[in-house]
Chains A and B, each alone.
Chain A
Amino acid sequence: MRKFLGKRAVASAVSLLLLIVMVFFLSRLTGDPTQLYLPVDASLEAREKFRELHGLNDPLMVQFGRYVVDLAQLDFGDSIRKARPALDVVLEAFKWTLALALITMALVTVAAIVVGSLAAFRVGGLFDRVATFFSLIGASAPDFWIAIVAIVLFSVNLGWLPTSGTGTIWHWILPISVLFIRPFGLILQVVRGAMITALSSAYVKTARAKGVRPRPVIFVHALRNGMLPVITVIGDQAAGMLNGAVVVETIFGFPGVGKLMIDSILQRDFAVVLAAIMVTAIAIFLMNILIDIAYAVLDPRIRY
């Protein structure tokens, strides 16, 4: 185990380095922040002054060297737009994203496994049909529809919940509900599929034929067998959420990392883009390590 973790830590660090190099150079191919920062009427001298001030005139390699030297001292650079350390900006937003992702994914995981298993138990039955139908509609409908309709219904018409913002736990209900729907639909389908396969596999059939009771025992056996793809897809959905839930953040005014990332990319605020990618990447890498450990725990035959 220790050997595995050591190897993974090294490999992940190399991946992170690769990611930084790629993002640093590729993002700079997408244009110069100068004209976006200054008013359109700014003179050519003003633009020149701005580039000089922010070191944008130096050769790319010099800029990269400077970035790496600063990074080695844990200085992620300053946001041009916000005139303060990029890492502070990112961490402020990331704590919201992390909370939203953790809560939502925990609910999704439990709900999808329970509903998916029940659906698989009687394939083609009423429960299966209804669960599949609604979860698929939810998973493929544009998320801003669901968000706006929910706000109009629960906030504007019924007045039960605040439309948007943060502050009380009531503010979390709508964003989490909207965020819940898509991963729930997808994971439910994967659970259902995996369970159908597992339940029809030889040894579960044997167990059923032998009359192993109660049902939960069968469930747990089958579940354990079909769990690998399920965990993988849960991880993929969680990674998506750690990258930010843009629509939910935009509509509900939730100060997460998704909108921050988009704004920084569109405004070419490179220090924030890099810091945000590094923070989310580290979270995603850690999660993937946990997932690989989970594989080995669930299925002792698996070796890396």
Chain B
Amino acid sequence: MTTSVPRPKADAEPTAVRAVLSMLWADKFATVAVIFLAVVLFCAIFGPWLLDAVATKQNLRGRNAPPFDFTRGWLFWLGGDALGRPLLARIVVAAQNTMMVAAGAVAASMVIGSALGLIAGYSRGRASQIIPRLADVIMSFPSLLLAVIVLYMLEPSVTNIILVLAITRIPVYLRTTRAEVLEVRERMFVQAARVMGASDTRIIFRHILPIVMPTLLTIATLDFAFVMLAESSLSFLGIGIQAPEITWGLMVSQGRPYMTNAWWLSFWPGLAIVLTTLSLNLLSNWLRVALDPTQRWRLEMGARKNG
């Protein structure tokens, strides 16, 4: 991400940062999204350290305390759970595990999936035949069975949950990347680059990947929600992350029996998932515009107007 005007290196960086910030400021939704994500990140890093003690303090006789009771201190603004623990504190603490699982699984599946997809789409050899069939196999392998197998042979842990979820999400990236590469590799400029003697690596990374990337990012942001909810349904079935560990997904599934009489138990952690996903998507939409030379004018114009 650099500005188009070349400048001496010394002040190039502050200018670049300012340019990015002003482009961000031009899209108010993206600005709010970035602030929200920063808060989530802060909770994920420092939450357990700050609030772990209050988040696990039980009070059976004060269970399912309703939200918006401002007499009990800010921890109970969102109400209490089935064991009388403050929901706000639990959501903050759970951010760490949640983000680790979601970011880990999405990043791993996206990197592996798109790499395999690039190879499958670009090569004309055996890899282009075998890799898509691998995706077929993974797509047909039920994720629950995979989870049961992995967690039976290995210990149930955050890492292993990431492993299970990452494997099951590989095909979508693999297949999307392959589909786009199949088309892009036939385009004029790629053919031209090849004729001019560019290496395969250069063609893939300089010419093909930037075109495929926006679609992958769109899918990845929504996959964040999918992975969090998939983890939630694994917990619900007794596989995956279990109490006393907490994640947003686990909180959502624990609140399920109370849907009709204490909605807040599953609503707040669910809202956290929704807002995180929404923010990531707004951010990725902004990135798509900001990174695309043919569209950047939308933001630069906005920035000038605001400036």
User: B144's contact among A7, A265, A288, A295, by CB below 8 Å, is which?
Assistant: A265
Q: Are B144 and A235 in contact (CB under 8 A)?
A: no
Q: Are A144 and B256 in contact (CB under 8 A)?
A: yes
Complex interface: chain B residues within 8 A of A200 (CB):
292, 294-295
User: B218's contact among A23, A145, A193, by CB below 8 Å, is which?
Assistant: A193
- Binary per-residue interface labels of chain A (125-158) against chain B in the complex, 1 for a CB within 8 Å, 0 otherwise: 0000100110011011111110010001000000
* Any B CB within 8 A of the CB of A12: yes
| A144→B285 CA distance, assembly (Å) | 28
* Any A CB within 8 A of the CB of B202: no
B187 → A minimal CB distance (Å): 9
| A152→B180 CA distance, assembly (Å) | 43
- Binary per-residue interface labels of chain A (148-171) against chain B in the complex, 1 for a CB within 8 Å, 0 otherwise: 100010000000000000000000
| A236→B113 CA distance, assembly (Å) | 13
| A111→B29 CA distance, assembly (Å) | 25
Complex interface: chain A residues within 8 A of B179 (CB):
228-229, 231-232, 295
* Any A CB within 8 A of the CB of B259: yes
Q: Report which residue of A144, A243, A246, A299 has the largest number of chain B beta carbons within 10 angstroms of its beta carbon.
A: A144
A185-212 interface with B by 8 A CB criterion = 185-186, 189-190, 193-194, 196-197, 200
* Any B CB within 8 A of the CB of A117: no
What total of A-B pairs shows CB separation below 8 Å? Answer: 168
Chain A interface size range: 35 or more
B208 → A minimal CB distance (Å): 13
A265 touching B148 in the complex, CB below 8 Å, given contacts A186-B222, A194-B215, A247-B233: yes
Q: Are A229 and B180 in contact (CB under 8 A)?
A: yes
* Any B CB within 8 A of the CB of A97: no
* Any B CB within 8 A of the CB of A27: yes
Stretch at the interface among B68-76, B77-85, B133-141: B133-141
Q: Report which residue of B145, B218, B256, B294 has the largest number of chain A beta carbons within 10 angstroms of its beta carbon.
A: B145
Q: Are B142 and A277 in contact (CB under 8 A)?
A: yes
Of chain A, the residue at the smallest CB distance from B269 is A142
* Any A CB within 8 A of the CB of B175: yes
* Any A CB within 8 A of the CB of B288: yes
A140 touching B219 in the complex, CB below 8 Å, given contacts A14-B133, A284-B136: no
Q: Are B266 and A15 in contact (CB under 8 A)?
A: no
Q: Are A193 and B152 in contact (CB under 8 A)?
A: no
* Any A CB within 8 A of the CB of B149: yes
| A280→B139 CA distance, assembly (Å) | 10
Complex interface: chain A residues within 8 A of B292 (CB):
197, 200
A266 → B minimal CB distance (Å): 7
Q: Are B186 and A302 in contact (CB under 8 A)?
A: yes
Stretch at the interface among B35-43, B45-53, B271-279: B271-279
| A15→B133 CA distance, assembly (Å) | 6
A176 → B minimal CB distance (Å): 20
- Binary per-residue interface labels of chain B (224-259) against chain A in the complex, 1 for a CB within 8 Å, 0 otherwise: 111001001100011000000000000010001001
* Any B CB within 8 A of the CB of A261: yes
Complex interface: chain B residues within 8 A of A185 (CB):
222
* Any A CB within 8 A of the CB of B192: no
A-B contact pairs, 30 of them (CB 8 A): A12-B133, A18-B137, A19-B140, A22-B141, A23-B145, A27-B145, A30-B152, A136-B222, A140-B224, A140-B273, A140-B278, A141-B270, A141-B273, A141-B274, A142-B270, A186-B222, A228-B180, A228-B183, A229-B179, A229-B215, A261-B145, A265-B142, A266-B238, A273-B145, A281-B140, A284-B139, A284-B140, A295-B183, A299-B183, A304-B128
Q: A140-B224, A144-B259 are in contact. List 6 more A-B contacts (CB 8 A).
A: A26-B149, A145-B270, A152-B260, A233-B176, A243-B142, A262-B237
Please report A residues at the B interface, Cβ cutoff 8 Å: 7, 11-12, 14-15, 18-19, 22-23, 26-27, 29-31, 123-124, 129, 132-133, 136-137, 139-145, 148, 152, 182, 185-186, 189-190, 193-194, 196-197, 200, 228-229, 231-233, 235-236, 239, 243, 246-247, 261-262, 265-266, 273, 277, 280-281, 284-285, 288, 295, 299, 301-302, 304
Across the A-B interface, the 3 shortest Cβ-Cβ residue pairs: A140-B225, A281-B140, A140-B277
Please report B residues at the A interface, Cβ cutoff 8 Å: 29, 128-129, 132-134, 136-137, 139-142, 144-145, 148-149, 152-153, 171-172, 175-176, 178-180, 182-183, 186, 211, 214-215, 218-219, 222, 224-226, 229, 232-233, 237-238, 252, 256, 259-260, 266-267, 270, 273-274, 277-278, 281, 285, 288-289, 292, 294-295, 298
